[in-house]
Chain A
Amino acid sequence: MTTRIYVPGDTTAWSLGADEVETAIVNAITNHGLAAEVVRTGSRGLYWLEPLVEVDSPDGRIGFGPIAPEEVADLFADGKLPTTAHPRSVGIVAEIPFLRDQQRLTFRRAGLIDPLSWSDYQAHGGGEGIRQARESTPQQVIDAVMASGLRGRGGAAFPAGIKWQTVHDTPGDVKYIVCNADEGDSGTFADRLLMESDPFQLIEGMAIAARAVGASQGVIYLRSEYPRTHAVLTTALATAREVGLLGAGAGFDITLFLGAGSYICGEETALLESLEGKRGMVRPKPPLPAREGLHGKPTLVHNVLTLAAATTILADGADQYAGHGLDRSRGTMPFQLGGNVARGGLVEHAFGLTLDALIHDFGGGTRSGRPARAVQVGGPLGAYLPAEQWVTPLAYESYLAIGAMLGHGGVVVFDDTVDMGAQAEFAMQFCAHESCGKCTPCRIGSVRGVELIQQMRRGEEPERHLAVLHELCETLELGSLCALGGLTPMPVRSVINHFPEALHLPAEVISS
């Protein structure tokens, strides 16, 4: 009986030496004449443990990590497969609290399977969604998505069912499914993790969407910074055609399009411009892409996770999915825990979790051991939350109420050495750096914002500059063409409101 040894293969593990670890393990197997083989998986998303080597055992997979290539020899020091007795053992992987306490729906197969094995995918429940969809009418599929309460996971949280219905109802000789895989928010990695660990799920989700809205062509718009993802998807798409998930028989096919490195192309209309071969600039809405999208045709544009969630909804049923969460935040959200945190990685959990639980129970507090001071949620355009807000349930509505947002689920922790003034400046800097330059508030306003905040940080007339900054934020929020300029005030205002001293502002100025 050959024992399987699993070595992760996603970009994170790879960057930490997983390939060298694999080579070392293969050598050890050969040298010791062990009855074992190496399987490359994606990643569990327990990044503080990467490279996390897993070994089959009767009780489940035993984990060892993090394992550097030079440490492999020690794993096999006695010429046998390593056991839980090894000092680097983290025990049964599925029972690691970080993983055990999650509610993994979308990431249920991540790190578990060989991402490029169609049979592995099927053996772990893959393919059930499209089977259900093909047995249903398109309207039934849309109804299920509607009933699930799924909202866009890219950040805007628009109800997915309404979008599907609009594309379905808009006449068009050609319709498109466009997957936005231009994951550009700092501190986010869920899209990549899914595509590298379970690519068939995305393809299946797109096939379900195509069936529902009547689309014949799909495009995955992948950021160029993900070369490994590109390789995985290329192979997976070929396999999907071989097994009939895509191709002429399926009436739907997907092309993979590599972006050119612009953050703004993650904005859906700029993404469409880019796909059409034009400069990546934001288009005004209306027309909505659902009515006039790619090449003017009805187009369903969704983030990777939204499309992937369709497989779960169809396979498990809309009620099952909607059973998670609270209010109008249904299902699960993959939070990406990073920054100054002891245990960084992916936490998929129903809405309603608190930051306290996330950063302490899952994350184990700061990595530096110093007290946490601020947490930025929702990427570079999300608010910086002070400790008193860490009890707010992580859900769309409750975050909106405190001037924050979940965005794409990025969670970045800062300890008490952080300079919040620098963070406020960075927000404007980020907008200035990534602005497409089309609309005036974003193009010029972000640069002026940087300059204002720099002056405030130097203590130059902070109160006079604050008045201008407030109006600038208002102009950015209300006047910008897209969410980049529109959301940039969010982190800036959170710093003004919760960390005024960083900008040399007396607290009474803020409260007044």
Chain B
Amino acid sequence: MTMTAMPDARRDLGTPAATGTNRVRATIDGIAVDVPEGTSVMRAAREAGVAVPKLCATESLASFGSCRLCLVEIEGRRGMPASCTTPLEPGMVVRTQSPQLARVRRNVMELYISDHPLDCLTCAANGDCELQDMAGVVGLREVRYGYQGANHLDAVADASNPYFTFDPAKCIVCSRCVRACDEIQGTFALTIDGRGFGSVVSAGMDEAFIDSECVSCGACVQACPTATLMEKTVIEHGLPDRVVKTTCAYCGVGCSFRAEMQGNEVVRMVPDMDGGANEGHSCVKGRFAWGYATHKERVLSPMVRERISDPWREVSWDEAFDFAATRLRAIQAEHGRGAIGGISSSRCTNEEVYVVQKMVRAAFANNNIDTCARVCHSPTGYGLKNTFGTSAGTQNFESVAAADVILLIGANPTDAHPVFASRMKRRLREGARLIVADPRRIDLVRSPHVSAAHHLQLQPGTNVALINALAHVVVTEGLVNESFVAERCEAESFQQWRDFIAQPENSPEATAAITGVPAAEVRAAARLYAAGPNSAIYYGLGVTEHSQGSTMVMGIANLAMATGQIGRPGVGVNPLRGQNNVQGSCDMGSFPHELPGYRHIADSTVRGSFESAWNVTLDPEPGFRIPNMFSAAVAGQFRGLYVQGEDIAQSDPDTTHVTRALEALDCLIVQDLFLNETAKYAHVFLPGTSFLEKDGTFTNAERRINRVRPAMPSRTGLAEWEVTCRLATAMGYPMDYPDAAAIMAEIAALTPTFAGVSFERLDRLGSVQWPCTAASPDGTPVMHVDRFVRGEGRFLITRFVPTEERSTRRFPLLLTTGRILSQYNVGTQTRRTGNIAWHPRDVLEIHPSDAELRGVRDGAPLTLASRKGTITLTADITDRVPPGVVYTTFHHPELGANVVTTEYSDWATNCPEYKVTAVEVRPLAVAAPETSASAALEGAGSAT
């Protein structure tokens, strides 16, 4: 067995699991083994409890056969085959131990150590080093070559990456890092430079890591068996003494991590091999950018102030609750109970969100509850519920491994959902075809070993015209899956849709003038998608954040149903959720019209079940949505707001309007880690907890409910759900739970799709994908398998209506927005980590011809103006964007991207139209000031 000092270390079986259906029976060291065909001798042996020594093999990578420690003897075969690269064959008789094997292994190890520093005791990997372990296993006692020979001991370390070092003097050239970068991450940033004894690991073209194409995902660091690639935190602190399994709090992929701790200090976050969403992979944010949790700017005490012009005053929790409750009750007394409300956060746990909406409905006695999902994926919920019957994606992430064709619309996974992107790239390298629909040439259009079959480079705001054109081809070229439609979908709505979509106005030839995509390209893409056999659609905010966001989601659902691309692995309609718990916050009843489980507040049976459980009478009328809250605040009707974990002053559109609303409030309560932009307008600040302190659950984009476990106690003294409960209690409605598990028990009792969910089950199974019911106690990886949740799939008419936001003579360019890998949304967290090394400021991508026309120079400051406002940023001249389109990220508050975004929003859900703003760009003659002139112009872009 591999020795290790690491707590709770997972057994590494050396090579990936085989997928063969036939069984192979053989004998290893006299033990009869029975494994799937394709299993390596090494894995078969390890499964049988025989640990063949190894260094270059690890079960997350294809076998490589370079270290030659795992040699075995096989009867009837010459020499010593490597057990990692030799598949077990029927009847094989394998010996893993013999005097000669022991001698050769010891000699191999002797060679390694003859070119390795002898500083084990002071090495950062001491106790967590496979080379050290193996030297012990093979019984190396001396290095007879001496240490005078050729070596690499003087090689210089590279510490350029903010999070890890590369020390080539300790490298054993096993290529695990190179292979991890290739096979797991799919970036191909690392290589072996030179050959023979001169072989060295090299980032890019022999560059420093920070200057190379390395995306700092950490896969290489995790793969390294020695201290060559090592987290700086481990070098600083030493090895952890305990491990807490938890879930990342960044994007909607929801990666499982092992928080490796020394006392209450995080030593490192390591992706969990058993994590259902990530299976051992990570990105730079989850792996490394957790330092914000202990950043010095975090606020740990409650604070209050009479007026927003007053300085903050630290108070006790009780005083803060008293202050807030008094104010809120006073508002209600004077302006009615509907004059206050709350906004829940997609960053918080299901349990935290649940108690916020409960507080609003039960303690505030209204339904003025909304969530930041309003500004990202509300159209997804609306569109998929009306077509399929469920407000959620249809697949698990693993499903992409069975896809033959991937249609990616308005999403940029390599930046925004990097761990899922790695899964997708792996499948693309295996030969799946890719269609990208995006105004911008995202990395997946062409990157190492990935090349899109079609890039449908449409004009921003024309999604619906494009999806209609794709469907038109399907309908008019006989590509409809008639039997699927007949068996699974509504006949009447299908016929109406078919008649509609077949109209000439929806043809690729007709829509080309709108979308700018050549008809032949659309036809070819439609045929490819329809042909499958397994075609999957993945989409992001480029679909939802439009005035026709909900229409587009329905158009996507129509296309999938018409071609029968739903209800099995490899297909489906998959929203890539922006935030860690967007899915969960929506599931938990965060919308003003819906109780947990997407059930309408007007439904008296459902409402009755909550009324009896909560012992209150609930208002049957839906409350305000976020934009309504703002308008009502400006009008003086809405005067008190509780905001949890969302910086609405930065992230919501039309900043000027938002700040005017916030200024009008009599009581703004902000619960957050930091004094964010919104807190500038707050009267009460309630310190929140980071994910490292939370106990609860997050639900990711694949409906996977993951446990969030506290790695350290709450730094504020209270759990976040406790804060909400205490405020509700202070308001006169007692709320009290012994722990987070009790909250989930209440959720499960009141929500049919969560009926089988409990912390006990989650702890036992690792995670569960809802629906989790008596019928599906282990959850539901793929939905709509035999029938749609709503019964028959429903087709909806998706007529293209152009947005009213269009380019004019004054504002001739269209601005669209997106995210970059190293930063997260408005940057509250990532700007407080080493990630700042990669994206120190936001830039505006502009096509060379547009730049030339305006005299804009690369890297020079420019102004970007819409009819809503003007901001300043730096030019990045690139043909990633087509002429007429400009693009920016929105991670830095100095930028205030939302100063320019407009009031337009999705017709069904009010999801803002972040992705289309008519703008004009001008070079800035003088160097721009650090921040824009007006404080009112401070803000930023779309949230999720």
Same complex origin of A and B: yes
Residues of A within 8 A of B (CB): 262, 264, 279, 284-286, 432-448, 451-452, 468, 471-472, 474-475, 478-481
Output the nearest chain A residue to B107 by Cβ-Cβ distance. A475
B145 touches A443 (CB 8 A): no
CA of A262 to CA of B65, assembled, Å: 21
- Residue pair B103, A279 in contact (C-beta under 8 Å): no
Residue of B64, B79, B196 touching A443 (CB-CB under 8 A): B196
- Decide yes or no whether B112 CB sits under 8 A from chain A: yes
Q: Does B104 contact A (CB under 8 A)?
A: yes
Assess whether A437 is in contact with B196, with CB atoms less than 8 Å apart. Answer: yes
Distance to closest chain B CB from A271 (angstroms): 15
| A468: B residues at CB distance < 8 A | 144-145
Known A-B contacts A286-B87, A444-B114, A445-B111; the reply to A262 vs B195 at CB < 8 A is yes
Bound complex: CA A286 to CA B195 (Å)? 24
Q: Mark B101-118, 1 if CB is under 8 A from A, else 0.
A: 001100110011011000
Are B145 and A451 in contact, CB atoms less than 8 angstroms apart?
A: yes
Say yes or no: A435 contacts B107, CB within 8 Å: no
**10 closest A-B pairs by CB:** A437-B199, A284-B85, A435-B196, A284-B65, A475-B107, A444-B111, A479-B68, A451-B149, A478-B80, A437-B195
Within 183-237 of B, Cβ neighbours of A (below 8 Å) are at 191-192, 194-199
* CB of A455 to closest CB in B, whole Å: 9
Q: Chain B nearest CB: distance from A381 CB in Å?
A: 15
How far, in whole Å, are A109 and B65 apart by their CA atoms in the complex? 44
Contacts of B173 in A (CB 8 A): 437, 443
Partner of B111 from the list A262, A285, A433, A448 (CB cut-off 8 Å) is: A448
Are B197 and A475 neighbours in the complex by a CB distance under 8 Å?
no
Residues on B with beta carbons closer than 8 Å to the beta carbon of A435: 195-197
Most buried by B among A284, A434, A436: A284
**What residues of A have a CB within 8 angstroms of the CB of B144 in the complex?**
468
Contacts of A474 in B (CB 8 A): 100, 103-104, 107
On whether the beta carbons of A439 and B111 are closer than 8 Å, the reply is: no
Residues from chain A with a CB closer than 8 A to the CB of B79 are 478
Flag whether B63 is at the interface (Cβ < 8 A). yes
Interface centre among B64, B80, B115, B197 (most CB of A within 10 A): B197
What's the nearest-Cβ distance from chain B to residue A281, in Å? 8
Contact of A437 among B63, B68, B111, B192 (CB under 8 A): B192
User: Nearest Cβ in chain A — how far from B82, in angstroms?
Assistant: 6
From residue B804, how far is it (CB to closest CB) to chain A in Å? 51
Bound complex: CA of A481 vs CA of B64, how far in Å? Answer: 10
List 18 A–B pairs whose Cβ atoms lie within 8 Å, in order of A's numbering. A279-B192, A432-B197, A437-B197, A439-B65, A439-B68, A440-B67, A440-B112, A442-B196, A444-B114, A451-B150, A474-B100, A475-B107, A475-B111, A478-B100, A479-B80, A479-B104, A479-B108, A480-B68
| B68/A440 in contact, CB under 8 A | yes
Given A434, A439, A446, A451, which contacts B66 in the complex, CB threshold below 8 Å? A439
User: CB of B86 within 8 A of chain A?
Assistant: yes
B745 CB to closest chain A CB (Å) equals 52
Residues of B within 8 A of A479 (CB): 68, 71, 80, 104, 107-108
Instruction: State whether A438 and B66 are in contact (beta carbons under 8 Å apart), knowing that A284-B85, A286-B86 are contacts in the complex.
Output: yes
Are B197 and A446 touching (Cβ within 8 A)? yes
**Min distance, Cβ A473 to any Cβ of chain B, angstroms:** 10
Q: Which residues of chain A have C-beta atoms less than 8 A from B198's C-beta?
A: 437
- Residues on B with beta carbons closer than 8 Å to the beta carbon of A437: 173, 192, 194-199
Q: Distance in Å from the Cβ of A434 to the closest Cβ of chain B?
A: 7
Contact status B196-A432, CB under 8 Å: yes
- A444–B112 contact, CB under 8 A? yes
* Bound-state Cα–Cα, A480 to B68, Å: 7
In the complex, per-residue mask of B73-87: 1 if CB is within 8 Å of any chain A CB, else 0: 000000110100111
Nearest CB on B from A285, distance (A): 8
Instruction: Report A-chain residues with C-beta under 8 Å of the C-beta of B150.
Output: 447, 451
Closest to A472 in B: B107
Cβ contacts under 8 Å, B172 to chain A: 440
B526 to A: closest C-beta gap in Å:
27
Are B196 and A436 in contact (CB-based, < 8 A)? yes
Minimum CB–CB distance for B776 against chain A, Å = 39
Contacts of B194 in A (CB 8 A): 437
Q: Which of B48-79 contact A (CB under 8 A)?
A: 63-68, 71, 79
Distance to closest chain B CB from A325 (angstroms): 24
Shortest distance between the CB of A232 and any CB in chain B (Å): 30
Q: How far is the CA of A439 from the CA of B68 in the complex (A)?
A: 7
Q: How far is the CB of A215 from chain B (nearest CB, A)?
A: 22
Closest Cβ of chain B to A268, distance in Å, is 15
Q: How far is the CA of A368 from the CA of B446 in the complex (A)?
A: 63
| A residues in contact with B82, CB < 8 Å | 284, 481
Give the distance in Å from the alpha carbon of A417 to the alpha carbon of B824 in the complex: 74
Of the candidates B107, B114, B144, B175, the one having the most CB atoms from chain A within 10 angstroms of its own CB is B107
A277 to B79 Cα, complex, angstroms: 31
- Interface centre among A448, A452, A468, by most chain B C-beta atoms within 10 angstroms, is A448
Q: Is the CB of B66 within 8 A of A440?
A: yes
In the complex, what distance in Å separates the CA atom of A468 from the CA atom of B110? Answer: 11
Interface residues of B in 151-184 (CB under 8 A from A): 172-173, 175
A443 close to B71 (CB less than 8 A): no
> Are B107 and A471 neighbours in the complex by a CB distance under 8 Å?
yes
Within 8 A of A (CB), among B761-804: none
Q: Chain A contacts of B66 at CB under 8 A?
A: 438-440, 481
Q: How far is the CB of B261 from chain A (nearest CB, A)?
A: 36
Contact of B108 among A436, A438, A475 (CB under 8 A): A475
B429 smallest CB distance to A (angstroms): 12
A434 partner residues in chain B, CB cutoff 8 A: 196
Contacts of A279 in B (CB 8 A): 191-192
A72 vs chain B, min Cβ distance (A):
46
Known A432-B197, A436-B195, A478-B79; judge A448-B108 contact (CB<8 A).
Answer: no
- Residue on A with the closest CB to B111? A444
Report the separation of the CA atoms of residues A50 and B79 in the bound assembly, to the nearest whole angstrom: 45
Q: Which residues does chain B contribute within 8 Å of A439, judged by CB atoms? A: 65-68
Nearest CB of A to B346, in Å: 43
- Residue pair B145, A441 in contact (C-beta under 8 Å): no
**Contact between chains at A448 and B196 (CB < 8 Å):** no
Question: A432–B149 Cα gap in the complex (Å)?
Answer: 14
> Shortest distance in angstroms between B135's beta carbon and chain A's nearest beta carbon?
13
Chain B residues whose C-beta falls within 8 Å of the C-beta of A451 in the assembled complex: 145, 149-150
Q: Which residues of B contact A262 (CB under 8 A)?
A: 195
A475 to B108, CA, bound (A): 7
A residues near B86, Cβ cutoff 8 Å: 286
Separation of A390 and B80 alpha carbons in the complex (Å): 32
B593 to chain A, nearest CB (A): 55
Q: Once bound together, how far apart are the Cα atoms of A260 and B67, in whole Å?
A: 26
The closest CB in chain A to the CB of B199 belongs to A437
CB pair B196–A446 under 8 Å, yes or no, is yes
Closest to B69 in A: A440
Shortest CB-to-CB span from B616 to chain A, Å, is 65
Q: Which residues of A contact B191 (CB under 8 A)?
A: 279
Q: Give A433 to B68 CA distance when docked, in angstroms.
A: 20
- Cβ of A452 and Cβ of B199 under 8 Å apart? no
Across the interface, do B115 and A444 meet the contact criterion of CB distance under 8 Å? yes
B621 to nearest A CB, angstroms?
Answer: 63
Do A478 and B104 contact each other (CB < 8 Å), given the known contacts A444-B112, A448-B149? yes
A247 to B896, CA, bound (A): 64
Q: Which residues of chain A are within 8 angstroms of B195 by Cβ–Cβ distance? A: 262, 264, 435-437
Contacts of A447 in B (CB 8 A): 149-150, 197
Among B172, B196, B199, chain A packs the most CB atoms within 10 A around the CB of B196
Contact between A441 and B197 (Cβ–Cβ < 8 Å)? no
Q: Is the CB of B197 within 8 A of A444?
A: yes
When distances are taken between beta carbons in the complex, the residues of chain A under 8 Å from B65 are: 284, 438-439, 481
A residues near B71, Cβ cutoff 8 Å: 478-479
Residue of A with least CB distance to B116: A444
Minimum C-beta distance from A480 to chain B (A):
7
Q: Which residues of B contact A481 (CB under 8 A)?
A: 65-66, 68, 82
| Cβ of A453 to closest chain B Cβ, rounded Å | 12
Return chain A residues, CB-CB under 8 Å to B64: 284
